[in-house]
Chain A
Amino acid sequence: MIRDSKTPYWLVGITGLVFILLYGPIFVPIASSFFALKQGVVDWQQPTASAYVTLVSNEGILVALRNTLVVGGAAVVCSLILGIASALYVNSGRSKDRALLQFIIFLPFLMPPIITGLALLIYFREIEFDRSLVTVIIGHTVFVLALVYRTLLVRLQSLSRSLVEASYDLGASGWQTFRYVLLPNLTSAMIGAGILAFALSFDETMITLLVTGTDNTLPIRLWAMMRLGFTPDINALVAVILAFTTLLCLLAARYLMPRES
């Protein structure tokens, strides 16, 4: 649907307003992170970067940052391996068990995160698996797997069947076909999905809150700090995280956007 008559002003107005609603709030902490705080009120006369200095020297935050990166990296690797195996399997034919596999993979994405988190929490307790960063990694993998799997499946389906057939006809083994024919065609989808999965893991809070033991990730640390109130170092941390996530989004978009011909 493309109209060519001119757009009414009120429509532009509402759209502008919605964009302000979406982006406006996040500028409040970012802007105030550069100013001093006096008795809980931002003093706009006193620009300072002291919040960022305290941030870098805050041990707890640095540990949380390291944990977040470890969890994100591990979840990306696990979900890519599982995603590619499942996508290849589902794409290789049609059967009831393939539909079932896809359904199971999609479940954590359909259910509210609180249910996925609680189910894992109960399960880990019953199998007596202590909560640690490992359980967080498992939880994140479960959560991002649907997205990675879906992205890779779509890319696989867009590849011509004759590619694989030609490879077999030329005498390549199954592994060689995967390594030299399918994998190169999947690379950009894998990178894009990987970045997106990392971004999701980086921000994941609800599942993490439930399955983590004593280890903090950055959002959990942030969550704990925020309950105490509005402080400059939270604002600085918020600004840093937002800058990082925006960068990830731009990167992911580069790899996943269809190329313009």
Chain B
Amino acid sequence: MSAVLRQSGAWPARIAVFAYPLAFILFPLAAFLAYSFFWTEHGTMSYALTLGNYQRFFTDPVFLPVLWQTCVLCFEVAILTILAGYPVAYFLAGLKGRKRYVLLMLMLVPLLMSYVIKIYAIRSILGGNGVLNRTLIWLGVIDDPLTFFVFNLNAVLLTLTVLLIPFAVLPIFLSLERIPRNLIDASADLGASAAQTFLRVILPLSLPGVVTALTFVFVLAIGDFLTPQMVGGQSGFTFGRIIYSQFGTAFNWPFGAALSVILAIMVIGAIAIGTVFGRDRSAGR
């Protein structure tokens, strides 16, 4: 088999390996891109090319503000996960031997747990009658349930942050781990205090990891529609949720496709920016 595969001119082998990815990855994406230039009216599809969907996106007063709001939200999520994740990554990178890999594994295990279950669990904590409000009332901190985190954009922000922290820890940990020990020793030998060593040596060298983390979290947050659907309530509208509704209640597939293309462009843009500023050959995947 590998002898066949060795010769790059072997067409049967090439067709065999390309068939599935072409048929079920590239063609669907192409169909999807094409769809964004079609239009639909009262349930009938028209395959005449139009820029109408994009025009609607840019002129309708609803969509641009929601996109902007979603970007801000996802950026805030990214910042929060980094604020929480950096100290953890720093702590893990400072551990020795087995302990740090066990802890790192424990940090990553929640990623393999069902996404829906995690959202559901956080939802049971955040609700008006949820665990958090009950505990606060029981402790006597507050008299009436707090509402600022109950099924609105703040709830989406908190939930996404908790869900995505591991994605921030991993790249930062990898970049911290790669800092040569002797650089830190040299800094100490030259009389720098621990704080100076951190600010002048460790922090700058770990920035590529931070940028990668920022990109990861942003991209994952902006494409999510389950979280806002579940904890966003009436007011917590995000771009992903609007796209999803085009394929459900609104039933306008071409427009939904156009919105998704815009989402894809945002994601590609974020990854491109992340790659340029996070030049760190192997952090992340």
A23 to B16, CA, bound (A): 44
Total contacting residues, chain B, CB less than 8 A: 89
A14 to B92, CA, bound (A): 12
* Contact across chains for B31 and A126 when beta carbons are under 8 A apart: yes
User: Which residues 52-94 of B have a CB within 8 angstroms of A?
Assistant: 84-85, 87-88, 90-94
Query: Is A187 among interface residues, defined by CB-CB distance under 8 A?
Result: no
Chain A: number of interface residues, binned into ranges? 35 or more
* Contact across chains for A115 and B87 when beta carbons are under 8 A apart: no
Chain B residues lying within 8 Å of A173, measured Cβ to Cβ, are: 3
* Contact across chains for B2 and A174 when beta carbons are under 8 A apart: yes
A120 to B, closest residue via Cβ = B28
A127 to B109, CA, bound (A): 39
* Contact across chains for B247 and A11 when beta carbons are under 8 A apart: no
* Contact across chains for A114 and B114 when beta carbons are under 8 A apart: no
Q: Can you add 7 more A-B contacts, CB < 8 Å, to A15-B92, A29-B120, A241-B117?
A: A1-B202, A2-B96, A14-B84, A18-B85, A29-B121, A118-B247, A123-B24
Query: Is A170 among interface residues, defined by CB-CB distance under 8 A?
Result: no
Q: Which residue numbers of B lie inside 8 Å of A, CB to CB?
A: 1-6, 8, 13-14, 16-18, 20-22, 24-29, 31-32, 35, 84-85, 87-88, 90-96, 105-107, 109-110, 112-118, 120-125, 129, 131, 162, 165-166, 169, 176-181, 184, 194, 202, 219-220, 222-226, 230, 240, 243-244, 247, 253, 256-257, 260, 263-264, 267, 271, 285
Query: Is A72 among interface residues, defined by CB-CB distance under 8 A?
Result: no
With A25-B125, A121-B247: A219-B25 Cβ-Cβ less than 8 Å: no
With A119-B29, A126-B31: A95-B122 Cβ-Cβ less than 8 Å: no
Whole-angstrom distance from the CB of B188 to the nearest CB of chain A? Answer: 9
Chain B residues lying within 8 Å of A212, measured Cβ to Cβ, are: none
Whole-angstrom distance from the CB of A37 to the nearest CB of chain B? Answer: 12
Indicate which residue in B4, B92, B219, B257 contacts A118 across the interface (CB closer than 8 Å): B257
Whole-angstrom distance from the CB of B26 to the nearest CB of chain A? Answer: 5
Whole-angstrom distance from the CB of B254 to the nearest CB of chain A? Answer: 9
* Contact across chains for B194 and A15 when beta carbons are under 8 A apart: no
B159 to A, closest residue via Cβ = A25
A138 to B, closest residue via Cβ = B24
Query: Is A38 among interface residues, defined by CB-CB distance under 8 A?
Result: no
Whole-angstrom distance from the CB of A84 to the nearest CB of chain B? Answer: 9
With A14-B88, A97-B14: A118-B1 Cβ-Cβ less than 8 Å: no
Interface string of A124-166 (1 = CB under 8 A from B): 0010000000000010011001000010000000000000100
A200 to B113, CA, bound (A): 9
A123 to B, closest residue via Cβ = B28
Query: Is A63 among interface residues, defined by CB-CB distance under 8 A?
Result: no
Chain A residues lying within 8 Å of B120, measured Cβ to Cβ, are: 29, 222, 226, 234, 238
A95 to B207, CA, bound (A): 34
Closest 9 CB pairs of A and B: A112-B223, A174-B3, A123-B28, A119-B32, A25-B121, A119-B28, A203-B114, A178-B1, A14-B87
A128 to B191, CA, bound (A): 72
* Contact across chains for A123 and B110 when beta carbons are under 8 A apart: no
A173 to B116, CA, bound (A): 49
A21 to B81, CA, bound (A): 12
Chain A residues lying within 8 Å of B226, measured Cβ to Cβ, are: 205-206, 223
A104 to B25, CA, bound (A): 7
With A120-B28, A122-B31: A203-B112 Cβ-Cβ less than 8 Å: yes
Whole-angstrom distance from the CB of A9 to the nearest CB of chain B? Answer: 11
* Contact across chains for B2 and A115 when beta carbons are under 8 A apart: no
A238 to B, closest residue via Cβ = B117
Query: Is A64 among interface residues, defined by CB-CB distance under 8 A?
Result: no
A222 to B1, CA, bound (A): 43
* Contact across chains for A115 and B109 when beta carbons are under 8 A apart: no
